[in-house]
Structure 1
Amino acid sequence: MTRRVLSAVRGGSGAGGVREGNAAAILSVIRAYGPLSRRAIARHTSLSMPTVSRQVSTLIDLGLLSEPSDPPLTGEVGRPTVPVDLNSNVIAACGVHIGVTTTTYGLSTLRGELLDSERIPTPQGAPEEVLRCVARKVGVFLGNWPERRIIGIGLAIGGQVDVERGLLDHGPLGWRGVPARVILEEVTGLPVHLDGHVPAMATAELLFGEATHARSALYFYAREMVGAAVAVGGVLHRGPGQSGSIAHLPVGSDVPCPCGRTGCLEVTVSERAVSERAVRAGVLDRPDIRSLRSVAEAGDVTAHRILTERAHALGRAVALLRDVVNPDLVVLGGQAITDAPAYLDAVYDAYARTTALPDAGLVTVTRFGPDVQAMAACAGLLAQLYERPFSVVGVPENRR
């Protein structure tokens, strides 16, 4: 599938220059506080009114901003002020999240609203063929949105991601040095942005979630894999080399880990590990986390105990990480959290009993719920747009 993508313009006054920095600043304040009048934009960004007016006009031409056709009355004396807002009707970002068992893809507006999403079992086979299969399905999915200008595809995945070279390593899938970017771009004809799934989810929170206005935030994720990310001043911390890992954070359980230790976080709380414990306990015939929750809801004491123990382990892990980072905000995400609301109190109780800081702090659950994987993959690409809008969508001929 080939789609039209506006070419980027390299150079001082276009992509990468002062004009692009000004445009990025305007987009960011409207994303965080909009809709805003031009005068309010100038106050937020400290840009001059002529600069704001020029950049807003350019961003409207690009389809990134829009003015209401029937502007509301503001009650202000003098010339009416017309607010501008992100344009949710033209440009969209596609996101693909490849998980151990499930692959999710979706399409998001500039405001972080999912237009649609689909889930499929992660295909089996050689990684190159898996990626080609997923890319073909994504191409069919995007064909349902011919009126949208798709700016590219964000790919989010666990394991280690070489963002610059577009390569993937994923231990549970057995992938090593897979050229994911090249494969997806060849099949879809769209530019591709890669990121680790936890950093991508944290990015979604920074752009559109509770962390948008937080001075510092800790994002905690748990499903089949576990992970955490830290942001300060709206900037996600990315260390050198490989991504950090909390898979072997000791949480005090008696579960043996392949690393040789006992009580590591991931083997204690992952969906597969938890449901396999239920099989060994005679609760289930086969590992399935949804069945385990259903059996617990029906009153099975052993199923309830297994899920409660997982919730306690999650709470202890969050408290340990929070005590180290001491952020203003902690955001919990992943289906181990969002698909088990009945056990949130157990998570919070273990967290409160474990934290050594005097104030338990603000802990909240992601607003993206079960859509977090699709939204995260879109967010990685949208972050590129907000940082370098002209590089992503180009500059109109009359504005160069």
Structure 2
Amino acid sequence: MEPGGTRRGADHNVMREVNRSLVLAVVKEGGRISRASIARATTLAKPTVSAIVDELIAEGLVREVGTGTTAVSGGRPPILLEFNASSHLVAGVHIGARRTTVAVGDATGAEVRRVRLDTPRGDPTATLKRIADQVRETAEVDGARLSAVGVVLPGLTDFHRGVCLLAPNLGWRDVAVGATLGDALGIPVYVHNAGQAAAVAENVEGVGDNAGELALLYAGTGLSAGVLSGGRVFHGAGGTAGEIGHCRVPGGTEPCNCGNAGCLETVASGPAMVRAVRRAIAAGRPSLLAGRRDLDASHVAAAARDGDTVAAAAIDEVGQYLGLAASWVVNAYNPAMLVLGGGLAAMGDLLLPPLREAFDASVLGPALRGVELRVSTLGDDAETRGAVLLALQHSETYYRVVFR
């Protein structure tokens, strides 16, 4: 082979796949559309468009749906095309500490079926095989082909290897989620953490309104950030970008689930809020929450709304730390929008005032002027919808060629 031949061949294949993706995107977005209209929209040559369309028809991704109107100048009426949403399916799996949700969507991401089950306990490999069985059963929709699965976990994930590095609430460490599910299902499996999935869902279907450059502060039992650039998840070299909850806070001593002490999530999370309440009660401060053993962040929020000063102070403290976290994310990634998501977003009305106060005091001036601060609108559906949408994104040719 002559020098450079491999590179030219690779470049040609990349261009071919990108052109194919452009054509498919126009058909998806254009409703019923002719080959000539596709050529105009993509600026590709008509023979190139025709060859790509023929290929897409053969694969079942596009279908012919009749003829359009003849132009004033006469000639044969154009054959119209449309995207075949039932050509394949994608599945999203949100594995939670207590419940697992499996959602199946068509080739546009629209859900066609969803089931929930108790998260299987015990050996992670056995758990994943049971989940694979549920995915297979849920995806049995009129014989449609399942093309990709997105899996979302409550912990640290290495996207590139498909590995759950650490999920304390599941008791998982270094679990090969992608390989185990992929072998069981025989299709690609893509693994993300909850913050990344929620960010994608909020950007596409929630408060983000397709902002593209968006970061989501995922605050609940833990703390992380899902960061999007150009609408795609920013993974980092090891797949763990956005794990802001495990940045150390100077002077912090509280043990963290990651094995270190003084991590940001030990002072900016639901458990941190509960610990603050318990400390105040132990110090003798009166509270509606005194004596309650099953205390969680939702109880703290309810008490604060009933005028409990201990609960209000705990929320204010966590809100201040979340504002600091938000400033770090905005200073580092400069998003156009920062969304508060995760379990604590349900008390956004209580958290936002202290969060915004600390955020405004800590963020860089130019970044502050360019960012909107909002609260999730998808609530606890964000992770599951994000899993479906991520499976869809990763199954797209353009993503595979350009972003991987």
TM-score range, shorter chain: 0.7 to 0.9
Aligned 1:274-313 pairs, distance under 5 A: 274-278=273-277, 281=281, 283=289, 284-313=292-321
1:137-180 deviation line (CA, Å, top 9, x unaligned): 3344334x345432232222244444454433215144333232
RMSD: 4.1
User: Are the equivalent residues in 2 in contact too, given 1:100–1:224 (CA < 8 A)?
Assistant: no
| Match among 341, 344, 352 for residue 333 of structure 1 | 341
Segments of 5+ residues of structure 1 without an aligned counterpart are 1-11, 392-400
Cα distance in 1 for residues equivalent to 2:269 and 2:198: 18
- Counterpart secondary structure, 2:19: helix
Aligned to 2:264: 265
Task: Compute the displacement of 1:246 (Å).
Answer: 0.6
Q: 1:271 to 1:279 in 2, by over 3 A?
A: same
| Match among 103, 107, 114 for residue 106 of structure 1 | 103
Cα distance in 2 for residues equivalent to 1:81 and 1:298: 66
Aligned 1:138-217 pairs, distance under 5 A: 138-143=135-140, 145-146=141-142, 148-172=144-168, 173-204=170-201, 214=211, 216-217=213-214
User: Are the equivalent residues in 1 in contact too, given 2:96–2:154 (CA < 8 A)?
Assistant: yes
Aligned 1:3-22 pairs, distance under 5 A: 18-22=15-19
User: Are the equivalent residues in 2 in contact too, given 1:105–1:118 (CA < 8 A)?
Assistant: yes
Share of identical aligned residues, percent? Answer: 28
Cα distance in 2 for residues equivalent to 1:229 and 1:351: 18
User: Are the equivalent residues in 1 in contact too, given 2:201–2:383 (CA < 8 A)?
Assistant: no
Tell me if 1:380 matches 2:376.
no
Q: What amino acid is aligned across from residue 377 of structure 1 in structure 2?
A: A
Cα distance in 2 for residues equivalent to 1:128 and 1:362: 42
Task: Compute the displacement of 1:65 (Å).
Answer: 4.4
Aligned to 2:349: 342
User: Are the equivalent residues in 1 in contact too, given 2:104–2:138 (CA < 8 A)?
Assistant: no
Aligned to 2:90: 93
Segments of 5+ residues of structure 2 without an aligned counterpart are 1-8, 282-286
Between structure 1 and structure 2, the one with the greater Rg is 2
Q: What amino acid is aligned across from residue 370 of structure 1 in structure 2?
A: D
User: Are the equivalent residues in 2 in contact too, given 1:166–1:180 (CA < 8 A)?
Assistant: yes
Cα distance in 2 for residues equivalent to 1:22 and 1:136: 36
Tell me if 1:136 matches 2:144.
no
**What TM-score, normalized by structure 2, do the two folds share?**
0.73
1:33-67 deviation line (CA, Å, top 9, x unaligned): 54474555434433223333443454355444467
Aligned 1:226-241 pairs, distance under 5 A: 226-241=223-238
**What TM-score, normalized by structure 1, do the two folds share?**
0.74
Cα distance in 1 for residues equivalent to 2:314 and 2:80: 53
User: Are the equivalent residues in 1 in contact too, given 2:90–2:109 (CA < 8 A)?
Assistant: no
Aligned to 2:246: 248
Cα distance in 1 for residues equivalent to 2:306 and 2:332: 39
Q: What amino acid is aligned across from residue 27 of structure 1 in structure 2?
A: L
User: Are the equivalent residues in 2 in contact too, given 1:203–1:383 (CA < 8 A)?
Assistant: no
Aligned to 1:24: 21
Q: What amino acid is aligned across from residue 267 of structure 1 in structure 2?
A: T
1:244-277 deviation line (CA, Å, top 9, x unaligned): 3211346789783446654x43122333343454
Q: 1:190 to 1:231 in 2, by over 3 A?
A: closer
- Counterpart secondary structure, 2:365: coil
Q: Mean alpha-carbon deviation: is it higher for 340-349 or for 248-257?
A: 248-257
Task: Compute the displacement of 1:93 (Å).
Answer: 0.9
- Counterpart secondary structure, 2:52: helix
Cα distance in 1 for residues equivalent to 2:155 and 2:46: 46
User: Are the equivalent residues in 2 in contact too, given 1:168–1:179 (CA < 8 A)?
Assistant: yes
Cα distance in 2 for residues equivalent to 1:61 and 1:208: 31
| Match among 356, 362, 379 for residue 369 of structure 1 | 379
User: Are the equivalent residues in 1 in contact too, given 2:337–2:371 (CA < 8 A)?
Assistant: yes
Task: Compute the displacement of 1:385 (Å).
Answer: 1.9
Cα distance in 2 for residues equivalent to 1:212 and 1:48: 33
Q: Mean alpha-carbon deviation: is it higher for 234-243 or for 368-377?
A: 234-243
Aligned 1:61-100 pairs, distance under 5 A: 61-65=58-62, 86-100=83-97
- Residues matched between the structures, number: 373
Cα distance in 1 for residues equivalent to 2:362 and 2:78: 52
| Match among 42, 45, 49 for residue 48 of structure 1 | 45
1:170-209 deviation line (CA, Å, top 9, x unaligned): 1514433323234324544544233344344444456666
Cα distance in 2 for residues equivalent to 1:326 and 1:247: 18
- Determine which structure has greater relative contact order: mean sequence separation of CA pairs < 8 Å that are 6+ residues apart, divided by chain length: 1
